[in-house]
Amino acid sequence: MKNKFVAALLAFFFGIFGIHKFYLGENFGRIMYFLFSWTFIPGILAFFDFLGLLLMSDQAFDARFNPGLNGAVLNGSRSRQDVTLAISQLKKLYDQDAITAEEYEEKRRKLLNEL
């Protein structure tokens, strides 16, 4: 389970090397940050990552970096009402740009297959 505040602190103190990207599991980002760390551009980007992580809601953070914790993940058999509620929560996350269209569609299909 990834913690939003740990990620924000890593972005603030070690962001120029992409340590926060490593912690969050963003492989391409961490390699790019590390390769270009000598230019200080990753340091500037890491500061914006730091602000973004601090301002991000817990629900949006969990949906993006801890997908197994939100209500849209299948935990076994659910009632029709539970699936409907999970899809509506998933739609809210999609509308808030917390998840991509592909993630939304994949999770929505999994939920609909439970019915």
**In which residue are the tokens 């990753």 written?**
42
Q: Is the pLDDT of residue 4 over 90?
A: yes
Q: How confident is the model at residue 73 (pLDDT cuts 50, 70, 90)?
A: very low
Distance between CA atoms of residues 51 and 69, nearest Å: 23
Mean pLDDT within 49-70: 87
Structure tokens at 73: 């993940």
Element containing residue 4 per DSSP (H, E) = helix 4-14
SS3 readout for 33-62: HHHCHHHCHHHHHHHHHHHHHHHCCHHHHH
> Average pLDDT of the chain?
86
| Tokens 């992409």 -> residue | 18
Q: For 15-49, write each residue's pLDDT tens digit.
A: 999 999 999 999 999 999 999 999 989 999 999 99
**pLDDT of 70:** 54
